[in-house]
Amino acid sequence: MLSEAGLPVVEATSFVSPKWVPQMADHAEVLKGIQKFPGINYPVLTPNFKGYQAAVAAGAKEVAIFGAASELFTRKNINCSIDESLQRFDEILKAAQAASIPVRGYVSCVLGCPYEGKISPAKVAEVAKKLYSMGCYEISLGDTIGVGTPGIMRDMLSAVMHEVPVAALAVHCHDTYGQALANTLMALQMGVSVVDSSVAGLGGCPYAQGASGNLATEDLVYMLTGLGVHTGVNLQKLLEAGAFICQALNRKTSSKVAQATCKL
Amino acid sequence: MGNVPSAVKHCLSYQQLLREHLWIGDSVAGALDPAQESSQLSGLPEYVKIVEVGPRDGLQNEKVIVPTDKKIEFINQLSQTGLSVIEVTSFVSSRWIPQMADHTEVMKGIRQYPGIRYPVLTPNLQGFHRAVAAGATEISVFGAASESFSKKNINCSIEESMERFEEVVKSARHMNIPARGYVSCALGCPCEGSVTPQKVTEVSKRLYGMGCYEISLGDTIGVGTPGSMKKLLESVMKEIPPRALAVHCHDTYGQALANILTALQGVNLYKVMEAGDFICKAVNKTTNSKVAQASFSA
């Protein structure tokens, strides 16, 4: 349904151990089972080399790896330092390059960390630069806990744009504190033209129970359409996909646009 | 992105995070120290006056009727947050807006803190007199930039409504009572669809010309996006100085904050959240504030 909505990139699943993320246990079946529309990319997360190999065996044509701008977050999340995590990813990058598989790099905690608090823009720039120079074609900068505000977004992007060309940058804003769209708008004004979002604002936040998750794709598309920015996305089909998955999850949508249109 | 963390209990509390990111503790949000000033955006005003419309615009759209004493308590709590303007109630007929039926008792019952303003809506002269009798020292009138909306909402044309408001604003000025003017449907109308910036400018100019000290431009159905907001303001600012303008954005399509894009200053966020929590319990619903939702994890 998401493919039919015209989205150019749909992150399909994560080749992570089901012990950590049970929801992604069926990663191989999902990737094999989806209809791959021409012109649409279906990247998958690959946290380690084993996951990468399983992803390729299941037909993945694009993978994503994730670092963090916080040492404590990296340690608590994947039990190693930032440098060690990047070394692990190097294996994946070399193999992916040999197989002509593009790799996207994520940087978590770019506007704040649930353990360290403030994160310096210089640190974000350093990690982004490393991932880019290792061969990632694009770096997605994630405000993982949604604490950022437009000024902090601007400062972080200013620092990163000294090291990575803006055409290779994306933003990934969580809406935990309702700031996602405002922060995304700031990023767009700075030249970023790739934005991560999640239909129905799915995602939640493991660090703030009761909090919302990613920026809702419907709300993002609404704003961009209003601004006259082309996205290629069919909002009606997107709303249908959102309604479908919310029913399957037995939860209400977090998208304001979906809520507003449901009343009609 | 990322896996479910196994060390959530070691996370900083939301209070710590807010302290770091908004530099608030027990005191005031946005009190910057030199090291943090670089995070200020250029082109933004140094201070933003927030007009809290929860007790009026907020409550009038809630199905649950809040008892008078709870409304009074709610407004008293808001008065302690550092907000400088709190819209208390509307002196409109209870037949149209049952939630505002207790306007007189609420206006008389609230504690009016020094330095805080408590405007009330007064749709006509009768409402205005009642408001003054109940102790109001600031009033608001509300026009619309759409003829259909004006007819549906207050049963008369824009021109007729302006004539009514002239009466009210004239009387207010005689008594040295400041009057604020609202323009509804500034970025779109539920009946007519799109609304031209020129029409909004015309209505705003009329209200400003009759003596309203400030014009609040309302995206009543929240359809606006940052581009249409920019076009609107460019048009209105040709006729009305920016310091006399306010924006009033509904979040129907999640666009409000992007449309506003300003920073909070001079407000104690925790006390605002306490007041929010109080009124949500009274109307038996969950908060729409993402900040409040995130804080409930503590």
| ipTM of this complex prediction, to 2 decimal places | 0.77
CA distance A179 to chain B (A): 7
Contact B225 A222 (CB under 8 A): yes
Q: Which of A66, A80, A203 is nearest to A140 (CA)?
A: A66
Question: What pLDDT score does A203 carry?
Answer: 86
* In chain B, residues 22-61 whose CB comes closer than 8 Å to chain A: 22, 38-41
> What's the whole-model pTM score?
0.82
| pLDDT above 70 for B34 | no
Q: Given pLDDT bands bounded at 50, 70 and 90, which one contains residue B30? A: very low
Measure the CA–CA gap between B261 and A137, rounded to whole angstroms. Answer: 31
Question: What pLDDT score does B271 carry?
Answer: 63
Is A205 among the residues known to form the active site? yes
- Span A79-117, pLDDT tens digits: 899 999 999 999 999 999 999 999 999 999 999 998 899
* In chain A, residues 5-44 whose CB comes closer than 8 Å to chain B: 16, 20-21
| pLDDT above 80 for A143 | yes
Contact B1 A66 (CB under 8 A): yes
Find, in chain B, the residue whose alpha carbon is nearest to that of A77.
Answer: B5
| pLDDT above 50 for B164 | yes
| pLDDT above 90 for A259 | yes
- Chain B touched by A112 (CB under 8 Å): yes
Contact A108 B2 (CB under 8 A): yes
Q: Given pLDDT bands bounded at 50, 70 and 90, which one contains residue B278? A: confident
Question: What pLDDT score does A192 carry?
Answer: 94
| pLDDT above 90 for B84 | yes
